[in-house]
Chain A
Amino acid sequence: MTLSAEEKLALSMFAAEKTSEGVLGLDTEGRILFANESASRMLGYSVPQLGAQDIFYIAPEMVPVLWKELWKELRENDRFAFEFQLQAASGASLQVDILTHRLTFGQRELGCLFFHDIEDRKRLQSLHQEFVTNVSHELRTPMTVIREGISQVSEGLRGEINDSQKRALTLALSGIERMGRMIDDLLDMSKIEAGKIALRRERLDLNAIVRDVASAFQAVAEDRRMDLRVTTPAGPVTLYADHDRLVQVLTNLVGNSFKYTEKGHIQIEIASQPHEVLCSVMDTGIGVSKDDLEKMFVKFEQLGQVAFTGEKGTGLGLSISRGIVELHKGRIWAESAGAGKGSRVLFTLPRQSGQDVFLEQLGGLLHDVARRGGSLSTVDFKFSGNGTKENASLSGLLCELENMVRKQTGRMSDLVIRDVDALHVGLQSMVKKEAERIAGQILETARKELARKLQTLGMTLTYAITSFPEDAAQESAYLAKIFTPEDD
């Protein structure tokens, strides 16, 4: 039996309607042109109700910046998969896996979006993370007892011991230390998997971080008679990232190179490109076979190699590094000419403008605020004058201003992002009038305390306030308004 063209069409339609995946058809403006039964069931809206809405209504986190990114990705690769949060009619949030495809009808472009609920998986991950956290905490106290007991005997606090006994205790201590590192790594890994690591992104210079990490390894390099080289572009490589987490990644990569390199050199390199920064750690060590290049990033995978330092790792370092890099929306991978030929681990970090980073983080805050029916204000402090290019005195001014802001508001919940010549501040639960008052006070203090510096640099400090819902009552409209000067 064959199907006529008409029957085939009807069957396809039937399948789209009945599949357990939620299906949405969207135009480039985000309007919902098609919704199936599963989408309606999961979101709690009827099919016609969905048809009258746009994606931004059921996905408040789909801020305009993200929507643009999604289409950029779709036009390049025709498909894009991501994890996201939708909002059901009841107001409850729905964790989903989304797969988006692009299809074209002549000149028209459509997005076809498939999604399914991952609440159960999320809940399991969260339970797992809690479990690991609790077990780790519980292990620490007995480990302290063991470590302290062994240390006391080993140091002779409990009487004389001979060299052979001392050697055994030294080995026991290094075992305990490894266990401690393992617990830290396990905690990090489970947090990454449960999506519970919150990055503290700030404007920083990758060059400076690389230099710090390299100098921390200098003693090891001298000890091992190896050469640790650093190649960086002249001048700072600024980007928005989590300082401590980047140090963790670099320490992991450089540490690995030392472990698996007997002689030769290790080289850290930074290449700055317009849209991203490429950082790599290369060594002349034992190398990796092609099949193992991807396996290196798998949890607990140690590829059966023995470190030259005799050190045993946890097998989690590279998985954690991958997690951290991906949280920054970067990529990480390994290259090697083969066993015995050294290896190179590379990662990229996107270069975003301070405004984009601010909008991205504010989007989450705003979403919470909007759902509660609360308010939020953005204060944008800006230095303007002769030269507003990045320089030490300008970033010094911004630093002082940031301290004033933090002191004035005194809240951890506020979002403060330093830019080249501006400080973007997001104040939760603050109505316009209150924000005006606080910003006015900060400006007054700043103009007074920074008067001389401002004069020397020929600069002035001003601010602009955009408040939700006073200036724009819709999330996307509000975000779009923040950095757009009013034309009046």
Chain B
Amino acid sequence: MSVPETKPKMLLVDDDPMIIELLELRLITQGYEVKTAMDGQAAYEALKNFSPDIIVCDVVMPRLDGLSLCRRLRSENNLVPFLFLTAKGQPKEKVEVLSAGADDYLVKPFDPHELGARILSILRRKETGNT
């Protein structure tokens, strides 16, 4: 799994410190520059002086949940690629996640290699879309 030459920047959002600790190491090892936030509001603040290439985000969180964060960004015309990590896997909930404006989602517990592959595929799509 090869990551593009310039280090892509990522914002990782989850209210579970264990998930943050583990995924941060995983993603750094995969070659990303990772910044973390513990809820949607903190993520929204962080975006004021950090422009990530992708946001990887939990759904259920205190203060501002993932769906609201995604909708808020889309309503502000911020089209940063958005990947949800969700604990829900039912069809209705998948539709909900995608219609909030996300690019993709993964259901917990997920295969870490699938996470890497999906992030890369979103980044690739974005690149080809821009050129």
Pick out which of these stretches binds chain B: A145-153, A366-374, A414-422: A145-153
CB pair A148–B89 under 8 Å, yes or no, is: no
Q: For A143, what are the chain B residues with a Cβ–Cβ distance below 8 Å? A: 108-109
CB pair A187–B108 under 8 Å, yes or no, is: no
CB pair B87–A137 under 8 Å, yes or no, is: yes
B90 within 8 A of A: yes
Interface bits A138-170 vs B (CB < 8 Å: 1, else 0): 101101111111011000010000000000000
Known contacts: A143-B108, A144-B110, A145-B18. The answer to whether A157 contacts B26 by CB under 8 A is yes
Please tell me which one of the listed residues B87, B107, B112 contacts residue A148 in the complex, with CB atoms under 8 A apart: B112
A-side interface residues, number (CB < 8 Å): 19
What's the A-B contact tally at a CB cutoff of 8 Å? 47
- The binding surface of chain A is classed by DSSP as helix
Q: For A184, what are the chain B residues with a Cβ–Cβ distance below 8 Å? A: 89
Known contacts: A140-B108, A140-B109. The answer to whether A145 contacts B22 by CB under 8 A is yes
CB pair A144–B26 under 8 Å, yes or no, is: no
Give complex CA distance A361, B124 in Å. Answer: 42
- Interface band, chain B: 10 to 19
Give complex CA distance A157, B29 in Å. Answer: 8
CB pair B87–A149 under 8 Å, yes or no, is: no
Tell me the residues in window 168-183 of chain A with beta carbons closer than 8 Å to chain B beta carbons. Answer: 176, 180
Tell me how far the C-beta of A161 lies from the nearest C-beta in chain B, rounded to whole angstroms: 16
CB pair A176–B109 under 8 Å, yes or no, is: yes
Tell me how far the C-beta of B4 lies from the nearest C-beta in chain A, rounded to whole angstroms: 21
CB nearest to A179 among chain B residues:
B109
CB pair A180–B22 under 8 Å, yes or no, is: no
Q: For A141, what are the chain B residues with a Cβ–Cβ distance below 8 Å? A: 16, 19, 87, 108
Give complex CA distance A151, B18 in Å. Answer: 14
Tell me how far the C-beta of B1 lies from the nearest C-beta in chain A, rounded to whole angstroms: 12
Tell me the residues in window 15-38 of chain B with beta carbons closer than 8 Å to chain A beta carbons. Answer: 16, 18-19, 22-23, 25-26, 29
B88 within 8 A of A: yes
Give complex CA distance A147, B22 in Å. Answer: 10
Known contacts: A157-B25, A157-B26, A157-B29. The answer to whether A144 contacts B88 by CB under 8 A is no
Tell me how far the C-beta of A436 lies from the nearest C-beta in chain B, rounded to whole angstroms: 30
What is the interface of chain B, defined by CB distance below 8 A to chain A? Answer: 16, 18-19, 22-23, 25-26, 29, 85, 87-91, 107-110, 112
Known pairs A143-B109, A146-B109 / 8 extra A-B pairs, C-beta < 8 Å: A137-B88, A138-B87, A140-B109, A144-B19, A145-B16, A148-B19, A157-B25, A244-B91
What is the interface of chain A, defined by CB distance below 8 A to chain B? Answer: 137-138, 140-141, 143-149, 151-152, 157, 176, 180, 184, 187, 244
